[in-house]
Amino acid sequence: MGSTSDFGRRDLVKRSAALGLIAVPSLGALSACASGGDSDGDKVDKGTKSEKNPLAVNESAGLDVVIFDGGFGDAYAKDAEKEFEKRYPKTAGKIKHTATQKIQTTLQPRFNGGTPPDLIDNSGAEQMDFGTLVGKGQLTDLTPLLDAPSIDDPSKKVRDTLREGVVEMGRFDGKPVWVLYYAYTVYGIWYSRSLLAKHGWEYPETWDDMLKLCKEAKKKDIAGWTYPGKYPYYLPFSLYPFIGKIGGREVLDSIDNLEPNAWKHPAVKAAFEAYYELYRKGYILEGTPSQSHTEAQTDWTQGKALFIPNGSWVENEAKKTTPDDFQMAVGAPPSLDDGDKMPFGTIWASGGEPFIVPKNARNPQGGMELLRIMLGKKSSQNFIRQVSSLTSLNGGTEGVDLPSGLASAQELLTKAGPNVLNPRIQDWYVGLNKQQIGIGALGEMMAGRMTPAEAIKKIQKFADDTAKDDSVTKYKHS
């Protein structure tokens, strides 16, 4: 996902996360991937637990790592693997590293065969469904990693060094933590400060001002918005927090919980109608419905459109086409009206780039140890410098010269304070969020092929069908 994530991440991104290039597989295909099984396979022997080796890593065993090659690339992971080899010299040359955008296609045969990797960056459009993986008992509980001492300060547990909410995001069914979200993604409406300044415009804090600005931009042959029309599940990166701002976080919670008529809430209706107005008034860049995420981002960085919904991975993913004076920034959802339940500045920010250790991994201790290294300050700062994104390590930016987009994201996060939303539907029901809601309804609505009322009705049916489907593991906010 995000580069994820994406969406989104990115991704939500995603995953949110860096996002790949093809549609997410069906829930059936994902279920086939996670077919269950309790065999330990040919696991390596544990090493000797010590102060230096708190997870009892086998210091000479190989490691098998699969990284999603999206907006963040995979260089950061390779660098962390080198740190692993420095810490355990006998593993040098024994780390198998695979980078792919096709996570599902690459790993389904390995899960089915009981030979999954030791560590997976499960992101992108072919992201494996977490709900299914957890429900089928396919993942290792990461609690030992979280309770291990941090690389930088052994007096602190890893869990105590992470940003608020990251540990909770990895829980799907109670106490165990199945997923570690490595990146920390700020979602929202991305724009160029220099482009707005050039025309004397300011970022709109109300939806009326958004429409007025888009009208002015249209007069200058600049579109108001673009988005990845081929992958319209990017739209929720700005739409979900808009819904939450209008109706309160409880509206998003009810959507996550698959509650009856959750999508028929007035806040959802108002948000959908507002976004539909962008289409109806011709404020969407021509050709957007047929564009990929990279094509839409390129049009945006070339100044053909003012705004694009995205996650903070976009700065790295679009850097090749971004002018030096672009001054990338991210904005919070505008206020719809005085009746909004949450203030302007409310945003969606959460862990992205989800990492998992399969239950049947040969070397789960090694997989968790690599994550422990990645969550150290050295690897985190390396990630920040390479890909212009925060990690889930709380802080870690000291001494790092942040690029404009990331500096903007951090500023937005600071100003939001407690008004940070974290919709979970993209994690709990990957196929529903990406395929049915994104492609099946939102994309159709924004392309003018469906009205807001029709889109809401269709999405509610998708959600109801998922709620009734006994083969889909259900999760709820506590």
Pairing mode of beta strands 328-331, 180-192 = antiparallel
Residue with more model confidence, 89 or 428? 89
Close Cβ partners of 131 (under 8 Å, ≥ 6 residues apart): 172, 428, 429, 430, 472, 473, 474, 475
* Helical axes 236-247 vs 249-256, angle rounded to 10°: 120
- The size of the chain, in residues, is 478
Specify the pLDDT at position 70: 87
**Which band of pLDDT confidence, cut at 50, 70 and 90, is reported for residue 69?**
very high
Q: pLDDT tens for residues 326-336?
A: 999 999 999 99
Task: Report whether pLDDT(12) > 80.
Answer: no
Average pLDDT of the segment spanning 208-223: 98
Specify the pLDDT at position 14: 32
In the chain, what's the furthest Cα-to-Cα distance?
69
Q: pLDDT tens for residues 299-316?
A: 999 999 999 999 998 998
Q: pLDDT tens for residues 388-427?
A: 889 999 987 888 899 999 999 999 999 999 999 999 998 8
**Dihedral sign, CA of 353, 354, 357, 360?**
negative
Q: Which of 268, 269, 211 is nearest to 241 (CA)?
A: 268
Q: Is 307 helix (H, G, I), strand (E, B) or coil?
A: strand
Confirm if 123 and 9 have CB atoms less than 8 A apart: yes
Q: Which of 29-38, 76-85, 381-390, 420-429 has the lowest mean pLDDT?
A: 29-38
Average pLDDT of the segment spanning 208-236: 97
Distance from C-alpha of 358 to C-alpha of 107, rounded to nearest angstrom: 11
Specify the pLDDT at position 25: 38
Q: pLDDT tens for residues 342-369?
A: 999 999 999 989 999 999 999 999 999 9
**Which band of pLDDT confidence, cut at 50, 70 and 90, is reported for residue 10?**
very low
**Which band of pLDDT confidence, cut at 50, 70 and 90, is reported for residue 41?**
low
**Domains identified in the chain and CATH numbers:** 11-185+351-404 (3.40.190.10)
Task: List phi, psi (to 5°) of 360.
Answer: -95, 20
